[in-house]
Amino acid sequence: AQLVSTVVVEYKARETTQRFTVPYGLSCIHSTHSLTNGQAICKIACRCSILHSITRSINTVQSTIITIIISHSSDQNHKIPRFDLPAPIYMGTEEIKKELNAANWFSQLAYDQWVPIPVSGARPSARYKHAAAVADDEKLYVAGGSRTGRYLPDVQVFDFRGLVWSSLKLKSKVDAGKGKENGAPEVLPATSDHSMVKWGNKLLLLGGHSKANSDSMIVRFIDPETHACGVIETSGEAPVSRGGHSVTLVGSRLIIFGGEDRNRKLLNNVYALDLETMTWDVIATKQTPPAPRFEHTAAINGDRYLLIFGGCSHSIFFNDLHVLDLQTMEWSQPEVQGDLVTPRAGHSGVTIGENWYIVGGGDNKNGCPETLVLNMSKLAWSALASVKERDPLASEGLSVCSVLINGERYLVAFGGYNGKYNNEVFAMRLKPRDASRPKIFQSPAAAAAAASVTAAYALAKSEKLEFPSLNLNSNGTGKNSTGQDLAFEIDALKEEKKVLELSLTEVRAENSRLAEKIDEVNGTHAELSKELHSVQGQLVAERSRCFKLEAQTAELQKMLESLQSIENEVQLLRRQKSTLEQEIERNAAQRQGSGGVWRWIAG
């Protein structure tokens, strides 16, 4: 059996095209439906009658969606005779089952746990530092990335309805109208460390590292419907080309922070792109900005506060949180509460309501296995889930997005690198959270101060309520009982006052103990400072000794070098002496031999 629950009709008349969607079994402003002998009849507003050959199954599922395109021309009277559909595309039983199984699979997930999604179709190549975005809560778009040192140029699409991967063949902006398809490498350069944001019916890609060098940041677009891709012309003072930056959508503006330029210079400046006029602006901020960094994440809270978390320099990994007030343009670094957060870079984040979900990241040695949640209103961290250290979710350069399926929010993560490149898709079903009662953390000093203020307020209130008892006079039997009630109430307030005074005394004693501890810590700090100065003095003395020893060593080295030459001279003299001695011996022997004849005559 075949099933169609949505029909899309494309109607052409007098050089115009009208396209609309007609849900099966429902009325529409453009047409009405009737079912006759297994055929649905549409009556168009212009009174053309079109026959849709639709086979209907017994089990009708209205959530199933399929597109059928019907094109026809019209005469002057707009009367179109009945005709057969030109090769319509029907959804088979297997495809319907896949879609139903996908919906059921998501709805059966446990809350706040990561689960790999069983996918079909040709999986994209494993990668990290790619860009990802969800369009219309139906499809996940993944663009570019990096693998084994190579930048990737492709665009991959994951359909949440069928849990299937497909590749998006892009067309250039010029060729899109001509119907010519170009390969993705010619349209979208191979790029890594870029950002992608959904705006209207298009996906915007900003920045990134690629072999196509550019002095300023380039803004590209992808149209998911027409598959068109091109460069958007911008005006104003554009930021320098960079990668590893953050892009945050705030109303109709994109806020860009940080990143690393093509010369590996780290940045911490802020730019804004007006999406309505496509104009760049430099944002001049006040107070101390975050240290230059890249591979961080950013989020917006209340359309006013821009939050920056984590990232790294070339040698340091951060776990700090900075806030930029977009009204006053002032930076601040507020104190955070809750669980301890380790330094990380290459993580990914997504906001849902006032909660900011952080997934993955690492410090080039270890991946971060925990999924964090920051309540942006209370600035309180909490760990939502955790995976193993070598899990794909404990990776750097992964992406995470949110998608609405059957009225529930899910986190979807893809890719990353943790010693190997990953291409798995993971989903987490988020448990609904009560935002009205967030967890609040207080230090002992803050709690004592709060108790002190409460006690003082209650004490002042009780003393104020005590004054009316001075003017209590009974002018009647009814007033006498009222005076007695007030007297009892005053006695009760006095007792409460005593209790509060005791509490206040305890709080003051606690404050005194804390003050003593502070004095003790200050004293310890002073002693340690003295020790530090003493050690520094010793270190200076040792350094001077080292310098002297180095000088003496250099002199001895020179002496050793001269000793070698002296040794050579001594050896030469020894050889000369030996030669001289040998000559003396030979001469003596010759003299003895020369006097032998005269001795013979004399004898």
- Residue-wise pLDDT for 200-245, tens only, equals 999 999 999 999 878 999 999 999 999 999 999 999 999 999 999 9
Q: Are 272 and 281 in contact (CB under 8 A)?
A: yes
Q: Determine the Cα–Cα distance for residues 138 and 162; give it in Å rounded to an integer.
A: 10
In a domain, 51, yes or no: yes
Of 295, 320, 339, the residue that ends a domain is 339
Q: Please state which of the ranges 41-50, 407-416, 584-593 shows the lowest mean pLDDT.
A: 41-50
**Full residue range of the structural domain in which residue 483 is found:** 444-580
Of 91, 119, 141, the residue that ends a domain is 91
Q: What is the pTM of this model?
A: 0.59
* 81 and 10, same domain (yes or no): yes
* 305 and 452, same domain (yes or no): no
Q: Determine the Cα–Cα distance for residues 343 and 318; give it in Å rounded to an integer.
A: 5
* 483 and 565, same domain (yes or no): yes
Q: Determine the Cα–Cα distance for residues 56 and 593; give it in Å rounded to an integer.
A: 142
DSSP structural state of residue 284: P
* 464 and 556, same domain (yes or no): yes
Q: Please state which of the ranges 30-44, 156-170, 441-455 shows the lowest mean pLDDT.
A: 30-44
Say if strands 305-309 and 297-301 run parallel, antiparallel, or are unpaired: antiparallel
In a domain, 199, yes or no: yes
Q: Dihedral angle at the C-alpha atoms of 138, 139, 140, 143, nearest 10 degrees?
A: -150
pLDDT given at position 99: 56
* 70 and 29, same domain (yes or no): yes
Above 90 in pLDDT, residue 469? Answer: no
Q: Dihedral angle at the C-alpha atoms of 118, 123, 124, 129, nearest 10 degrees?
A: 20
Specify the residue for token string 């419907």: 225
Q: Determine the Cα–Cα distance for residues 372 and 383; give it in Å rounded to an integer.
A: 5
In a domain, 464, yes or no: yes
* 74 and 165, same domain (yes or no): no
* 163 and 53, same domain (yes or no): no
* 106 and 21, same domain (yes or no): no
Per residue in 357-400, pLDDT (tens digit) is 999 999 988 999 999 999 999 999 999 999 998 999 999 999 99
Please list, residue by residue across 182-197, b when 16 or more beta carbons sit within 10 angstroms of its beta carbon and e when fewer do. Answer: bebeebbbbbbbbbbb
Q: What is the largest CA-CA distance in the chain?
A: 185
In a domain, 87, yes or no: yes
* Contacts with 269 (C-beta within 8 Å, 6 or more apart), sequence order: 239, 257, 258, 282
* 30 and 114, same domain (yes or no): no
* 494 and 511, same domain (yes or no): yes
In a domain, 123, yes or no: yes
pLDDT given at position 174: 57
Of 56, 91, 126, the residue that ends a domain is 91
pLDDT given at position 510: 83
pLDDT given at position 596: 57
In a domain, 65, yes or no: yes
In a domain, 429, yes or no: no
* 190 and 150, same domain (yes or no): yes
Mean pLDDT of 140-158: 96
DSSP 139-208: EEEEE--EETTEEB--EEEEETTTTEEEE---EEHHHHHHT----HHHHS--EES-EEEEETTEEEEE--
pLDDT given at position 234: 97
Percent of the chain's residues with pLDDT above 90? 48
Tokens for 260?
Answer: 């690393």
If one counts the domains in the chain, the total is: 3
Per residue in 396-414, pLDDT (tens digit) is 999 999 999 988 999 999 9
Cα angle value 60/61/66 (rounded, 5°):
105
What is each CA distance from 218 to 129, 138, 386, in whole angstroms? 18, 27, 37
In a domain, 434, yes or no: no
Closest to 127 measured CA to CA, from 465, 523, 423: 423
* 148 and 74, same domain (yes or no): no
Q: Determine the Cα–Cα distance for residues 368 and 362; give it in Å rounded to an integer.
A: 5
pLDDT given at position 334: 95
Average pLDDT, the chain: 77
Mean pLDDT of 493-506: 83
Domain with 282 in it: what CATH number? 2.120.10.80
Sign, CA torsion 229/230/231/233? negative
Above 90 in pLDDT, residue 347? Answer: yes
